[in-house]
């Protein structure tokens, strides 16, 4: 130790170490560019109400599933699994249609801050050529405030099929899928839009 203190480079080494320690301490104080953080909303999707006589409750379930898939592709939404939502509905012994209090109770159990639900306003199937048309109304509701923060009216038409003899549900599913996939991606997370 005495040899180190007496060495002719000791004062320079001590100054260099002091300088390095000082710089490393200031390194944490230097301003760093702020990174933009994207706000992701945790949502769940309820089966759509079907006001038409076409397709029944199954069409409402299919439309909701297709909307979930579309929203899951967006960076704005964190879509909770349908199985988790259905389990919560069973725990609460709720039956559709769900009112505002029901939606809030479901959200509390699945830790969601918003809910997506909607209505099939129109659904029809034509024969020649075989083709289906579906019109949906979709809304996003903030659970804490009960304010509708987004929404759309979307239409979808299946591909015309000449000589089609299959089940009309196939055409209806395609039409509702086009409505969901054609409009869900345009939602930004704030403001309501009317889509065509």
> 92-115, pLDDT tens digit by residue?
999 999 999 999 999 999 999 999
How big is the CA angle at 100 (ends 96 and 101), to the nearest 5 degrees?
A: 90
pTM comes to 0.72
The helix or strand, by DSSP H or E, that contains position 82, with its residue range, turns out to be helix 82-92
CATH code for the domain defined by 41-186? 3.40.50.10610
Domain positions in the chain: 41-186
How much is the pLDDT for 50? 95
| pLDDT digit string, tens, across residues 164-179 | 888 999 999 999 999 9
| Selected residue with higher pLDDT from 17 and 58 | 58
| pLDDT digit string, tens, across residues 66-87 | 999 999 988 889 999 999 999 9
How much is the pLDDT for 165? 86
Find out whether 104 and 89 touch, Cβ atoms under 8 Å. no
pLDDT band (50, 70, 90) for residue 145: very high
Percent of the chain with pLDDT over 70: 72
In this structure, which long-range contacts are made by residues 50-53, counting pairs with CB atoms below 8 Å and at least 24 apart in sequence?
A: 50/119, 50/120, 50/123, 51/119, 51/120, 51/121, 52/120, 52/121, 52/122, 52/123, 52/124
Percent of the chain with pLDDT over 90: 63
- Reply yes or no on whether the pLDDT at 38 is more than 70: no
Residue 44 to residue 140: CA distance in whole angstroms: 10
Partners of 42 in the beta sheet? 78
* Most trustworthy range by pLDDT among 18-32, 121-135, 173-187: 121-135
Phi first, then psi: give them for residue 193, nearest 5 degrees: -125, 150
């Amino acid at each position: 130790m005495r040899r180190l203190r007496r060495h002719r480079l000791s004062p320079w080494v001590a100054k260099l170490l002091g300088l390095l320690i000082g710089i490393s301490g200031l390194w944490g104080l230097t301003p760093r560019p702020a990174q933009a953080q994207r706000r992701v909303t945790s949502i769940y999707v309820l089966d759509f109400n079907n006001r038409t006589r076409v397709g029944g409750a199954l069409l409402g379930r299919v439309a909701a599933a297709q909307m979930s898939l579309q929203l899951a592709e967006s960076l704005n939404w964190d879509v909770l699994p349908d199985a988790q939502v259905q389990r919560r509905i069973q725990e609460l012994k709720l039956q559709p249609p769900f009112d505002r209090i029901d939606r809030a109770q479901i959200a509390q159990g699945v830790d969601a801050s918003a809910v997506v639900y909607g209505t099939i306003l129109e659904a029809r199937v034509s024969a020649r050529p075989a083709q289906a048309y579906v019109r949906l109304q979709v809304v996003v509701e903030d659970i804490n405030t009960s304010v509708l923060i987004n929404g759309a009216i979307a239409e979808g038409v299946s591909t015309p099929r000449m000589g089609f003899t299959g089940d009309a549900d196939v055409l209806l599913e395609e039409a509702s899928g086009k409505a969901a996939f054609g409009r869900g991606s345009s939602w930004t997370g704030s403001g309501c839009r009317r889509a065509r």
